[in-house]
Amino acid sequence: MKPAAAPQGRHRVPAPPGGHALRIDPDERARQSVPTAQSQLPVVEETSAGGLVVSMIDGVAHAAVIARRNRAGRLEWCLPKGHLEGDETPEEAAVREIAEETGITGAVRTRLGVIDYWFSGDGRRVHKAVHHFLLEAVSGDLTVEDDPDGEAEDVAWIALEDLGARLSYPNERRLASDVLATFGPHGPFVPSADPRPR
């Protein structure tokens, strides 16, 4: 049996022995150095804020989450959040966005962290930083009627221990898991005698 002939116009690159780097032929190297259309898109920096607004319901901590459509039209459950407006701080934007998208006014209790990611759309690459906070619900009723963008289609109180199964985004599930691991299912706030929003 004859060995297979190398393709015409290309160098045959044998498989490297274990533990050694693969040598790339010159034609392949040239193809890799050509800039892609995505790398030529203008880059835009965006900052948003939101987070977990928590209420004690029957002695169990619940967080308000919203449902919105992704770019493909699929309904996804996520934490309420949105862009900073004017000279807002991330904390102020989180309180405003959560109130607009859920109907619940919250008081910031602590910073949870920043989720940083990239995406492309509308002819640009976007580098987005989303500041997340833990808020205690202080007033309001669940509603999406005050969302000026109309992005939130539904809102619900979900027990902290059930958030992992409901939230669509892995980074948000990790934040919720960290809050649950830190505070447990009964949440971060000591229940008071006054009723919490429902």
- Please say if the pLDDT value at position 78 is more than 90: yes
Residue 136 lies in a domain: yes
Task: Compare 197 and 77 and report the one with higher pLDDT.
Answer: 77
How many folded domains does the chain comprise?
Answer: 1
Q: CATH no. for residue 106?
A: 3.90.79.10
CB neighbour class for 62 (10 Å; exposed up to 12, middle 13-18, buried from 19): buried
* Residue range of the domain that includes 65: 41-183
- How many angstroms separate the CA atoms of 145 and 100, rounded? 8
Residue 163 lies in a domain: yes
pTM above 0.85, yes or no: no
Residue 75 lies in a domain: yes
Residue 13 lies in a domain: no
What pLDDT, on a 0 to 100 scale, did the predictor assign at position 147? Answer: 87
What pLDDT, on a 0 to 100 scale, did the predictor assign at position 191? Answer: 52
